[in-house]
Structure 1
Amino acid sequence: MKADRAGDQRAGARIETRALSKVYRGATRPAVDDVALTIEAGEFMTLLGPSGSGKTTTLNMIAGFEDVTAGQILLGDADIARVPPHRRNLGVVFQNYALFPHMTAADNVAFPLKQRKVGKREIARRVAEALDLVRLGEHGSRLPSQLSGGQQQRVALARAVVFEPRALLLDEPLGALDKKLRESLQLEIARLHKELGITFVFVTHDQEEALALSDRIAVFRDGHIEQVGTPAELYEKPASHFVATFLGDSNVFSGHARDGLLDTGWCRLRAGGEVLTGPVALVVRPESLRIGPPADPGANVLSATVTDVIYQGAFRRILVEFDGGFGGQIRDGAAGPAAPVTIGQRIEVHWPAEAGVLVPGEGEPSETEPPVLTSPAGSAR
């Protein structure tokens, strides 16, 4: 079942959606609206977004479980938008495992092969290989009730790949597991992708999971795709306010761009990178903020009061309120011992110009509900 490493790209199928839309009867807006997405053969693509953003509906249309209102779904060169699910040759893994409780693990894995009328010897060989692939070779005779949640999900994975599908679709498969087990199975899924070499399409609302697993991520919002890119591209160069605040923690200043500066109404911050006009936001990740006076005279510098200090093992989160009333957070300690900080302490906070990302703003800045801190380039106090 392992893919030939020299031919991994041939093991999976290229998937493309063109102007894909889904409108449910009685709905006031489309669940999926004109989605165009290309998933390369052998790629691990994650569809990420909050509840109701359209990511699961898109996956279900690719799988054939939802009818398409408009648009195309190409698997390789063939349009499968009207092809029944059982003829698409796609493996699917659900959050709830969907195992037959009266069948052993081996019989659950064998089920799709029996449906395809594969011979008994071939079934036995493929089932053994699939169970070994998910490291359950010694558990084939157990019923689902005799397996842990993580083991049941691995049986579901084995069942989804045993018939050698052209792509594997995973709908929040780790959502029902606790944090430690979820992280363990993330490594298993990444290993399976490398060993099988087929196309993976993975749905999640967990940002850390998406960053850890994906070759690329498509961020969904209100039925459309907000941005597609590698984890590093999305994290370091978000294209919108939504992506910047949804994917990972962010400090965000909102204001107006004037003369190359961001004017928040209470301070002015020099903006680097792309020049925008009108309402804008500047974004800086918490790990880019530093406490104390900067060595770089071009860095942004703001005064703040510490409101909380949260210890999280490898790092600490320091919550602050800047003098303009903006709340923000700093993440430090990962690089070594950090200086003591106490609640109520007055501090200076700085960040380098290149740490800031300028994105279009979303509406007018509010004086009564100021946004979280943002990160631009040089400082002008």
Structure 2
Amino acid sequence: MGERGGPIVGKGGESIPDEEWERFLRDAEAGAEGAPEEPSARARMVARRLREESGPPEPWRGHRPVRRRGGKGWYVAGLLVAVALVVVALAPGWVAGWFGGGDGGGEGAPLGVESARPDQPPPTAAAAAGPTLEQPFRGSPAARWADGTAGIGVPEARATGWMSKGQVARALEKTRDFLAASSLDPAVLRGERPGKAIASINPHQRDVRDYLAAAFRAPSRENDPLLLFSRFDAAEVRLAGDVVKTRGRITYREGRLGAVEVTTDVTYVYPVVRAAAGSDEVVRTIVRREVVMSWDDPEKVVTEPGTFSLVSYKGDTTNGGCDTFTGYFAPEFGAERATSRPEDGPAVDPYDRSTSVGTRVREGGDAGCGTATRS
């Protein structure tokens, strides 16, 4: 299943066959000669970032055991690469009382682009009907969010580290292109391999290289492609329409060795239905990812033009499957939820962007599958 999908795309946009990609992975084991440093997990940079955060440090590539799945809705608190949380939402009818007007119910004018972390979650109000094929975001705060990359705030560029103002502007543009290629591309959402997104990642990062190869060959808890890419099994589900709602922002600062360190924090809302013809029950899979990347100085770090090095990536997902590692999101519909066993994990609002992903997992501790308060 990990080999299914589109080809890897090279820097010029041309397709790279899978066998050439595998050969590249083998040939690249020796790295590039003559460069001062080869990026790996960029452990020292991650360590510095973690020292600046409150709470216990989180490993870049580790995980906490996930409890057996169960319950009407699930929230997985675990560390996978940096951390992965998985939540499966309650049936819309059970939580209809939490939806309504204002930001929580889809009423009112569209929201402006997010420029800073909000200080509270979107409000909830009176009851509203759930999603339909015609209105897949009804009853959700996402009804007021922008479509696609329009919902991702990009800051003004300024000279930073080794980059000029113009170079920073291009790095920010390429960063948003990566988010689109990894989480919004229609072919990738249908389950194809995210070749264009992979081509944006520095191929000289040995640990990331190994993770990507394993994630698509044999997805597992340790090597889950959904930590970076949004994919659904086209044989099981399809998008309800062609719109994905987003809300988030990009920030940057000078990083290690004069690099430009860019942080992306974006929530994506995917309305889906079963793949079978005539299906009309709409559910939503909600994914929030925080990806930190480093646009490195090629005179100090082994890199390729137009690529970035991954520093860390964290995420939490609602209604994407709990403790399942197939390489695809597995949203549940009414029939599955009706037979699920209640779970005693923490209650989580997937639309709450007032705290970081790291803070959320620390507060969740080792709790396994919990309940999403709304979908």
What TM-score do you get using the length of structure 2 for normalisation? Answer: 0.25
Task: Kindly indicate which of the two structures has a greater share of residues assigned to strand.
Answer: 1
Q: Look at both structures and tell me which one has the larger radius of gyration over its CA atoms.
A: 1
Choose between structure 1 and 2 for higher RCO, CA contacts under 8 A separated by at least 6 residues.
2
What TM-score do you get using the length of structure 1 for normalisation? Answer: 0.25
